[in-house]
């Protein structure tokens, strides 16, 4: 264990916040939500010091190693002899389109989902944080949920997780659902995303499309937000085929949905064209806004509560040069709400925005990380950033510039300086996608 690691036990704060929200307490009367290194659930403990291990959910790749999806553990302790190296790898066997992972509220379990055949692998990361162990595999997600497929985001709520699904078993299109499971991995219920035919009481029928991607909650306002992507038929397909298919290009989400966190009922559907993906709430208690990135239009969008208490969405910045799509794959907000990193999938550039005025973000710095990047994760204090290369097995570059990696950087407020790089092909691992952090001290005492 590294000596300078600090962990805030915010679980109790999260519980208080949750119950505050459930009881309808007014904003500001409860403790502010805190988020971890990538603005995850406020019901979790964040690692505010040095993260020790990085869990990389990695897609199996033809011709690489055992060609199977695997959870790779990278040592990110700066004083370790194995710093910046993979120290463990757990292969789940076969290619399932490994994509996102999420943590339970107690951070004891890492949930790893697959977009293709809808598996959920539950890894115990508490017993030995350096060596995750598979403790359960959920294989009946589709059957249990009533037809939702492609589990994506796993978002911690007290004692349970909310999972965004991305498609369905009727037509592999984009209509999908939110699903709840207990921390033990038992199915609870399914909430379908509103469609024009079934708004479930929400407003914004003209914008509803039923699509789904990410979920993030703001408990002190009793709201949660979902975004919208596309269905299996597009995300599993060769990207060049999608781009060449005008009919397929019409099947992307152009909406976000505001939900009542307590009742899980949709309130309002917002128009956000261009497949809005990751949602990042600001962290300060006086900040009632979130950002998302429209991946197709390469735009940064602000979701905010207006003076009348209504949730609104507006486009606030280009990610890259207008007209030259960067197809951003992820965003990260710093813990002071002043800066946002956006990762350009198409050009491999990580861009830093000053968002101190969230209505007018300004691009202030950029760094080429690789030929393609997708996910970016930041340490709590923002001094370390990590990047992965892969978007999806069929959307990654296949030309002579194709590469697969995890790269670490230090950020000194002026320059990103690389600290390590793991070549995931040379290491016989595969396509590196989603990252989560672990540390021994989360489980001490």
- The residues of the shown chain that bind other proteins, judged by CB under 8 A, are 94-97, 116-118, 140, 142-143, 147, 149, 169-173, 231-252, 254, 273-274, 294, 296-297, 323, 325, 346, 393-399, 401
Q: In what order do the strands lie in the sheet with 98-103?
A: 98-103, 109-114, 120-124, 133-138
Matching residue, tokens 């290194």: 37
Smallest separation (angstroms) from other proteins to the CB of 254: 6
Taking the complex as a whole, how short is the minimal distance between the CB of residue 142 and other proteins, in angstroms? 4
Please say which residue, 307 or 400, places its beta carbon nearer to other proteins: 400
What's the closest the beta carbon of residue 438 comes to other proteins, in angstroms?
30
Give Cβ neighbours of residue 37 (< 8 Å, ≥ 6 apart): 46, 47, 51, 377, 378, 379, 380, 437
Q: What residues have CB less than 8 Å from 132, skipping those under 6 apart?
A: 55, 71, 73, 88, 90, 110, 123, 124, 125
What distance in Å separates the CA atoms of residue 73 and residue 435, rounded to the nearest whole number? 10
Closest approach, Cβ 244 to other proteins, in A, equals 6
Exposure string of 394-408, with b = 16+ CB inside 10 Å and e = fewer, is bbbbeeeeebbbbbb
Shorter beta-carbon distance to other proteins: residue 7 or 59? 59
**Between 374 and 379, CB nearer to other proteins:** 374
- Min dist CB 290 to other proteins, Å, is 20
For other proteins, the closer of residues 76 and 349 by Cβ is 349
Which CB atom, from 40 or from 372, has the smaller least distance to other proteins?
372
Burial of 132 (0-12, 13-18, 19+ CB in 10 A): buried
Region label for 48, one of left (φ > 0), alpha (ψ between -120 and 50) or beta (otherwise): alpha
In terms of CB distance, is 224 or 294 closer to other proteins?
294
Nearest approach in angstroms of CB 77 to other proteins is 35
| Neighbouring residues of 29: CB distance < 8 A, sequence distance ≥ 6 | 20
Q: How far is the CB of 278 from other proteins (least distance, A)?
A: 18
Q: Cα–Cα distance between 216 and 400 in angstroms, integer? A: 37
Instruction: State the nearest-atom distance from the C-beta of 300 to other proteins, in Å.
Output: 14
Q: Which residues contact 322 (CB under 8 A, 6 or more apart)?
A: none
Nearer to other proteins, 90 or 232 (CB): 232
**Contacts (Cβ under 8 Å, ≥6 apart) of 234:** 174, 242, 248, 251, 252
Burial of 439 (0-12, 13-18, 19+ CB in 10 A): buried
Closer to other proteins by Cβ: residue 215 or 294: 294
Q: How many CB atoms lie within 10 A of CB 286?
A: 9
CB nearer other proteins, residue 152 or residue 436: 152
């Amino acid at each position: 264990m590294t000596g300078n690691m600090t962990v805030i036990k915010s679980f109790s704060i999260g519980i208080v916040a949750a119950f505050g929200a459930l009881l309808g307490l007014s904003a500001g009367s409860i403790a502010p939500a805190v988020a971890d290194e990538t603005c995850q659930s406020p019901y979790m403990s964040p690692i505010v010091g040095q993260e020790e291990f990085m869990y990389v959910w990695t897609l199996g790749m033809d011709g690489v190693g055992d060609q199977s999806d695997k959870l790779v553990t990278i040592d990110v302790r700066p004083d370790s002899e194995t710093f910046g190296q993979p120290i463990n790898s757990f292969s789940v066997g076969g290619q399932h389109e490994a994509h996102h992972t999420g943590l339970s509220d107690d951070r004891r379990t890492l949930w790893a989902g697959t977009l293709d055949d809808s598996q959920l692998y539950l890894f115990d990361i508490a017993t030995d944080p350096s060596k995750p162990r598979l403790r359960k595999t959920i294989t009946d997600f589709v059957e249990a949920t009533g037809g939702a497929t492609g589990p994506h985001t796993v978002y911690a709520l007290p004692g349970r997780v909310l999972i965004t699904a991305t498609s369905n078993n009727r037509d592999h299109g984009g209509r999908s659902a939110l699903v709840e499971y207990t921390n033990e991995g038992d199915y609870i219920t399914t909430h379908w995303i509103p469609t024009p035919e079934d708004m479930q009481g929400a407003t914004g029928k003209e914008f509803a499309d039923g699509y789904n991607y990410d979920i993030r909650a703001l408990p002190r306002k009793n709201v949660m937000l979902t975004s919208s992507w596309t269905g299996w038929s597009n995300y599993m397909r060769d990207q060049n085929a999608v781009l060449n298919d005008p009919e397929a290009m019409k099947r992307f989400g152009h909406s976000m949905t505001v939900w009542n966190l307590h009742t899980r009922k949709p309130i309002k559907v917002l128009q956000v064209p261009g497949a809005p993906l990751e949602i990042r709430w600001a962290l300060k208690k006086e900040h009632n806004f979130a950002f998302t990135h429209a991946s197709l239009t390469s735009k940064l969008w602000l979701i905010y509560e207006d003076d009348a208490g209504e949730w609104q969405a507006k486009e606030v910045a280009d990610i890259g040069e207008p007209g030259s799509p960067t197809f951003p794959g992820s965003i990260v907000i710093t813990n002071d709400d002043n800066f946002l990193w956006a990762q350009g999938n198409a050009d491999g550039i990580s861009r830093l925005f000053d968002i101190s005025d969230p209505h007018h973000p300004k691009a202030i710095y950029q760094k080429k990380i690789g030929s393609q990047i997708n996910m970016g994760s930041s340490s709590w204090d923002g001094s370390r950033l990590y990047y992965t290369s892969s978007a999806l097995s069929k959307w990654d570059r296949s030309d002579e510039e194709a590469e697969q990696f995890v790269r670490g950087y230090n950020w000194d407020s002026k320059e990103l300086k690389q600290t390590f790089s793991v070549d995931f092909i040379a290491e016989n691992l595969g396509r590196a996608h989603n990252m989560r952090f672990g540390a021994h001290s989360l489980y001490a005492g």
